[in-house]
Amino acid sequence: MPVSKKFLLILVAFLVLAGVFGSGLYIGIKLPAESKVVGIIQKESPTELPEEVDFSLFWNVWGRIENKYVDIAKIKRQEMLYGAIEGMVKSLGDPYSVFLTPEKNKEFQIEISGEFQGVGMEIGIKKNILTVIAPLKGTPAERAGIMAGDKILKIGDVSSADIAVDEAVKLIRGPKGTKVKLTILRNGEDESRSIEIERDVIKIPVLDTETKGSEAAENGKKIVPKDIFVIKLYNFSENSPLLFRQALRQMLEGGQKKLILDLRNNPGGFLEASVDIASWFLSQGEIVVSENYGKNIPSTVHRSKGYNIFKGVPTVVLVNQGSASAAEILAGALKDHGIAKLVGERTFGKGSVQELLPVSRETSLKITIAKWVTPKGYSISEGGLLPDIEIKPTKADREAKRDPVMEKAIEMLK
C-alpha cells in the first residue's frame, strides 16, 4: 500500500509482521443526563454539515443508558465514547478507515516503527472477507504454505466475520516462538483447512535478481542463452529505489536486453518508491498515478522524474492477487503507457490513500482521503488491474513446482 509522508497504508494491516468528535463533542441540545456525564467539552462542529443531523438521538440513547442500565456502576464512559466513534467510522463501509483507541494507537506506532514479530503476511478486507494479500518471502507464513488470496475464516477459535483488520492483526501477531492457528479457505477448494504457524522475528526482503533464457541444443550440449533479466521486487521500502537501480546496473553489465519485473505477492509500500522506479521507464513529466480526493478538490498528479533509460526495453510485468497498492501503481503506469504487458492474475485492488490524523494525545484516526487512478483514468480500487494475459496457476502446477506465469513471460520475450 502506498505510503508517503502521510501514512498511506495496504493494511490493510500495515503488516502482520510482528507479526470524539475532536477533543470533545459537538452539542446542539441539552443533555438528558448532562449532570451525570463528567468532563464533556462543548465545541462547535468543525465544518458545515451538508444535511441536518439530529444529534439528540445520540444523547437520548446515552441518557437512557445512564438512567436505565442495570450495571451502571460498572460502565466506563470513556469506553462508551470510543465505541460510539468506532461505530461512526465503521459506518463508512471502508475497511481502511479506523479509529485508533489509546491501546490500538500504541500498537500501531509499534508496527510502523519496524519492530516486527509475527507470521509475516499482509492482510486486508476483500469482498467483506478477511483475506491474505500476500505472505512475505522467507517468513513463517510462506513456509507454512499460506498463499495470496487465502480467505481467513478463523483466527484460533475466533471467527473473522465482521472483524476489523486491526483487530485481526492483534490476534495473529505475537512473540517469537508462540503459535497461531488459522482456518483458511483457498480459492478453488470447497473445504477449509487449518494451518498452524509459529511466530518469529520478521526480516523484510526487498528484491532478488536472476537471469533466464530458452534452452537450445548445439553439438549435443544444452546451451541456455541468458538473455532475460528478472527482478523480483517484494515491497516498496525506502531502500527499494536504490536496490532497483543497482539491479538495473547489473542487467546492463550482464548484457541482458529483456526484462521481467515480478510483482507477485508484493503488497506495496512507499508511494515515492513506486514513482521513482516507474521513472526508469517513462519520459520526464509522464503521469505515473493521480491522487483523486473526490468532491471538488483538484487531483494530485505524480509524474515521472524522467530517468527512462529503459524505455523501449522489452518488458513483461508479473502480477497476482497479492500485488497491491504501490505494486498496482507501478504495474498500472507501465501498462497504460504501453511499456509492458501484464501477465498473471487480477491484482488485489488496494488503491486508496490513508492519512493518520491525531485526534487527542492518545488517540488517532486512520482515514481514507483519496483513491489512486492510473494514467488512463482507471481507479485501482474498482476491482484491481486485469492482466493482458490472465494465467491462474493450478493446484497441479503448485504440486509440480511449475510456474506457468513465468513460462509465459519468457515465451513472450523470445
- Report the candidate in 88, 129, 372 with the shortest Cα–Cα distance to residue 80: 88
Instruction: Tell me how far apart the alpha carbons of residues 293 and 68 are, in angstroms, rounded to a whole number.
Output: 44
Of 97, 237, 274, 325, which residue is the catalytic one?
325
CA separation for the pair 215, 231 (Å, rounded): 20
- The Cα-based distances of 68 to 3, 33, 50, 77, 87 in angstroms read 47, 11, 34, 15, 22
Residue 325 is among the residues annotated as catalytic for this protein: yes
Q: At what angle do helices 77-90 and 56-68 cross, to 10 degrees?
A: 140
3-state SS, residue 227: coil
Q: Which residues contact 130 (CB under 8 A, 6 or more apart)?
A: 123, 124, 151, 152, 160, 163, 165, 168
In which region does residue 17 sit, left (phi positive, over 0), alpha (psi from -120 to 50) or beta (all else)? Answer: alpha
Q: How far is CA 206 from the centre of its chain?
A: 16
- Considering the candidates 166, 200, 276, 336, report the single residue annotated as catalytic: 336
Count of residues in the chain: 414
Residues 49 and 28 sit within 8 Å (Cβ to Cβ): no
Name the helix (H) or strand (E) containing 187: none
CB 279 within 8 A of CB 271: no
Roughly what angle, to the nearest 10 degrees, separates helices 271-278 and 326-336? 30
Residue 368 CB coordination number (10 Å): 19
Distance (Å, rounded) from C-alpha 10 to C-alpha 337?
A: 24
Closest CA to 316 of 241, 250, 264, 240: 264
- HSE at residue 70, side-chain half, CA atoms within 13 A, is 0
Q: How far is it, in rounded angstroms, from Cα 2 to Cα 333?
A: 14
Q: Are 288 and 304 in contact (CB under 8 A)?
A: yes
What the block records as the C-alpha cell of 106 is 500504541
* Residue of 104, 212, 335, 350 marked active site: 350
- Please give the positions annotated as active site: 325, 336, 350
